Amino acid sequence: MQHRGSDAVRSDAVRAGGARTGGAQAGRVHAERAASDGRPSDGPSSTDGAGSLVTGSQVTGSVASGALVASAVVTNAVVTAWAACAVRRLRESRPALDALNVFPVADADTGTNLWRTFVQGQEALSLAAGAARARSGTGPAEPFDADASAQVLLARLAHGALLGARGNSGLILAAWLQGLSTAPEGPITGTVLARMLRAAATSARTAVGTPAPGTILTAADAAADAAADVVAAGVVDGGAADAAADVVDADAVDANLADVVLAAASGARDAATRSTQELEVLRAAGVRDAGALGLAVVLDALHETVAPDTARRTPTDAPTDALNDTPTDALNDPLAGHPTDPLAGHPTHTPTHTSTGSVTGVPTDVSVVAETMGGGHLLGGHSGGDDSGTREDDVASRAGSAREDAAHHGGAGGGIEVMFVVEARPGTRGAGDPLREGLAAVGDSVGVTRGDGLWQAHVHTDDVAGAVAVARDVAELVRGEVRQCCVRAVHADVPTGGAGLVVVVDSAGLADVLARAGAVVLLSTGPTPGDMSRAVVDAGTERVSVVVGPVAVGSVAIGQVEAAPIAVALADVAASTGLGVDLVAAQSQVQALVATAAWAVDGCDAAALAAVVAGVRVVTWDAAEHGTVLPAEVVTVVRGAEVVTVLHGAAVPSPVLAALADAVRHTGGELVAVPTGEPDARLELGAETTGHAA
């Protein structure tokens, strides 16, 4: 028998593969049939291979004030409710998924990355809804744009997720959502959704440089296969057939939406179960793939949304959660009083490094520190004590150790994660292939996905400057720009009990050192409030110190004028994230480096960082203009300094650094030299003293 539908499969494959889909067509109850006679839908139900009842899930949310009713098609209300439910489910599953994370790097952040990525997608829907209400003047109403189609909302969800993608898993999820958003005009029925799930799986796989079995990609394929089987089974059982040609048109039959979603969720869950045997690193750790389970959670949330009544009617037969064998009811009820470990009964991996999750509900406030900087005015300093070596020295040394540690934990790719967005001008060539090729040459875990004129890229590398060069070269190729370039260590340790640290600089070489010290680095000459919000959240702590070097935020420069406008921008960030944010304004990048060293070694809070910054006297010069002779101001500043830190471009002649080392040595100080990675001859020197003003 031949099928014309794009996702149909041969009837013999359907009959043979019935166990895989759990016979999802048997005994199904169509939501549209229930709606036509005024009865609430019982939701889809079927029997699995063992004959046990498998039903839909409960939804614990609403689009407006009431619970959703079962839907025969994906509407704009369904998209919005699904996004909210998926965010809720991913938040609940986040700790468990983080604990399972061993591939591609055991950095305990898969659950966090999936959750944060979907949050950004949902926020895109909320922002669009707010804009729509503002245009109409209606004020608060439905929490979605009632005038937008489901297709439009899916596109907004995907776009927000693309811009907000975190980590390798988040980028793949964003790519999956991009594929899912390619819905044709018209009602999104079960049959149409099955085709969308295939497009989503293809998009996710295309985004990954080196796909591996037993991962979120496998789960996406399995979900699409299971959904296609439901459509094909409907064609075989009741589709329109051409008797003469023995041909069935899969597109002529609309499969039940809830059946398709249930099959897709089950397919993803089954793939996650098999993942332990498909990937050696998972087999060795005895765990299931965190990304595959995360996708199952997302699809379970979609089933909860389109079939909300089923679990309420049959609570004892409610489906098991994607992560364990606990009935969904027990997991969904936030008032049950019996907290359930979403991974109960399953072994979890204990990572070498763990990260602190972000916490909401912290009082929203921003303080401005280091309001008086430079000019030799010393607000305080750090105690030199009897330490054998400086904090900057320690950070530089730890950077080398971190590279070795990353090679051990993360493979050949490196210990630094670099993510960025390339925005192209309309009509230019695609950036995907050159990004993949360029990043593959400098690292691994390469992922690239595209949206509307945007490409989000991800790589693990030990060559941050090389990765940034790829980004800039491709941006030039497409006559665009690099946005939202975030650099952080794959394995980052935040000082226990302290605030997280975000540093904004424009030097790729310095970003490498700062990230290895544990900071979240925003590499930019003009970060937007959105860029800063992402970095603050990524710090993963209740309170975050933001050290901003001499870069611009919007149209306001920092380091050259008062910092108050920057504080206003960060106040918006604090209000939107619920985190405490402290601004430490620096006049130079070397001050930012010294502050990071103090934070990494001493766990300084913002006030202490401000004192450190104020205690650094800065001199900048260009060796191309001065030659090997040190400017008189440099000689004056280093005199009496205990620690001198210099940032230098690649074109600085070695005799200049040698002369500087001699000058510092003669005054009894110590010199720490850090290359910026920039192809220039510029030097930026910071001199520190302790306990007194210069």
Q: What letter would DSSP give residue 316?
A: G
Candidates 100, 444, 157, 163; CA nearest to 296 is 100
| H or E stretch covering 687 | strand 682-688
Written as one letter, the residue type at 245 is A
Instruction: Calculate the average pLDDT of the chain.
Output: 72
Instruction: Check residue 251 and give its pLDDT.
Output: 53
Q: What letter would DSSP give residue 320?
A: B
User: Please, which pLDDT band fits residue 98 given cuts at 50, 70 and 90?
Assistant: confident
Q: Which of 98-102, 262-266, 365-369 has the lowest mean pLDDT?
A: 365-369
Q: What span, in angstroms and rounded, lies between the C-alpha atoms of 53 and 271?
A: 20
Q: What tens digit of pLDDT does each residue of 405-434 get?
A: 434 433 445 899 999 999 988 766 788 899
Residue predicted with more confidence, 245 or 437: 437
Instruction: Check residue 183 and give its pLDDT.
Output: 85
Q: What is the mean pLDDT of residues 617-643?
A: 91
Share of the chain above pLDDT 90, in %: 40
Q: What span, in angstroms and rounded, lies between the C-alpha atoms of 650 and 222?
A: 50
Q: What span, in angstroms and rounded, lies between the C-alpha atoms of 59 and 39?
A: 18
User: Please, which pLDDT band fits residue 620 given cuts at 50, 70 and 90?
Assistant: very high
Share of the chain above pLDDT 70, in %: 64
Instruction: Check residue 572 and give its pLDDT.
Output: 84
Candidates 68, 193, 87, 89; CA nearest to 142 is 68
pTM higher than 0.85: no
Q: What is the mean pLDDT of residues 596-622?
A: 90
For residues 355 and 108, the answer to whether their CB atoms sit within 8 Å is yes
For residues 573 and 364, the answer to whether their CB atoms sit within 8 Å is no
Residue predicted with more confidence, 301 or 554: 301
Instruction: Check residue 437 and give its pLDDT.
Output: 93
User: Please, which pLDDT band fits residue 80 given cuts at 50, 70 and 90?
Assistant: very high
Q: What is the mean pLDDT of residues 449-466?
A: 91
Query: Is pLDDT of 379 > 70?
Result: no
Instruction: Check residue 287 and give its pLDDT.
Output: 80
Domains of the chain: 2-332 (1.25.40.340), 365-415+490-688 (no CATH), 416-481 (3.30.1370)
Query: Is pLDDT of 581 > 70?
Result: yes
User: Please, which pLDDT band fits residue 119 given cuts at 50, 70 and 90?
Assistant: very high
Handedness of CA 574, 577, 582, 583 (dihedral sign): negative
Q: What is the mean pLDDT of residues 92-103?
A: 83
Written as one letter, the residue type at 586 is A
Q: Report the SS3 class of residue 445.
A: strand
Instruction: Check residue 495 and give its pLDDT.
Output: 56
| Strand ranges for 586-642 from DSSP E | 616-622
Highest mean predicted confidence (pLDDT) among 169-173, 239-243, 551-555: 169-173
Candidates 458, 89, 117, 98; CA nearest to 290 is 98
Tokens describing residue 445: 């875990």
User: Please, which pLDDT band fits residue 600 given cuts at 50, 70 and 90?
Assistant: confident
